[in-house]
Amino acid sequence: MINVIKRDPLTPDFEFFGTAFTRVKDSLCLDIMKLRYEVYCNECHFLNADDYPDGCESDTYDASAYHVAVRNEAGQVVGTARLVFADQGRRFPFEEHCITFDDFTFPPRAECAEVSRLVVDRGYRRRPGDTMQGVSKAFLEKGRPEMIPLNANDLEGKHRRRICPQILMGMFRQMYQHSRKKGTHYWFAAMEKGLARSLGRMGFNFTQVGPETDYYGQVAVYCADLRKLSHNLRQSSEFLSRWFEGEPITLWLGLKTRVCHRLAGNRKA
């Protein structure tokens, strides 16, 4: 009998949900819109709070999007993102503000989606320089995710778990698995270079396909081929690949991965 890790090894403190905005009064949808309002209107001032008197931020793209919500152990929604699809010939949100390079060839729109409205509650961004996507300044500069959280009683382990952007990784996994079922092969995202580099360190490689522009800060359009992403993850880390694809992770693979990363950390030290 093969022993399989039952508790999620990378995001043990959170639960991830996918939903559609089919019922605006649904409590999960309301929590998503309230978190977006708090970050985009009250905290970052990207949007005018007066335009949303009910304290719920939403736009015309929400109705046809796939939304991800993250709940902590207390049941609070602490992170959200969405996948917007170009259904019925609609344009993507980034096309309202950003352009692509002249030599970029757009993939078939039916195979594409845009990752947008990706935010994390500020309670999980307590250090100066943390991004609104929940990536710490230290991780932006030189970090990499821990493949296996260390023992919760280990002070160093606790520190590493805080550095690892668990919420961001879990949301990307949720969106990836939905994309695979839907037949979506390409993701677009308008993001800062620092976030793109951080995603690359986690194995989520995006290629810049447009110039920088001022769209909620200095951002550029990036594109990822999900089939290449899956292949590269499989080549670089069996553990992360299995986790990302939703495949079983054996105790032996978890132990081997933990040992390898400890040895790598010792060599760097």
Where along the chain do its domains lie? 15-86+107-225
214, pLDDT greater than 70:
yes
* Structure token pair of residue 227: 């089939």
267, pLDDT greater than 70:
no
DSSP β-bridge partners for residue 81: 68
CA distance 87 to 64: 8
Q: Quick one: pLDDT at residue 235?
A: 83
Q: Quick one: pLDDT at residue 4?
A: 37
Q: What percent of the chain has pLDDT over 70?
A: 73
220, pLDDT greater than 70:
yes
Instruction: Write down the pTM of the prediction.
Output: 0.80
Orientation of helix 238-245 relative to helix 251-268, angle to 10°: 130
By the 10 Å C-beta count (0-12 exposed, 13-18 middle, 19+ buried), 205 is classed as: middle
When mean pLDDT is compared over 225-229, 244-248, 249-253, the highest value belongs to 225-229
Low-confidence winner among 80-89, 170-179, 218-227 (lowest mean pLDDT): 80-89
Give the CATH class of 15-86+107-225: alpha beta
Q: What is the mean pLDDT of the chain?
A: 79
According to DSSP, residue 105 is labeled P
User: What does the pLDDT look like over 180-207, one tens digit per residue?
Assistant: 999 999 999 999 888 888 788 777 889 9
Whether 119 contacts 132, CB under 8 Å:
yes
137, pLDDT greater than 80:
no
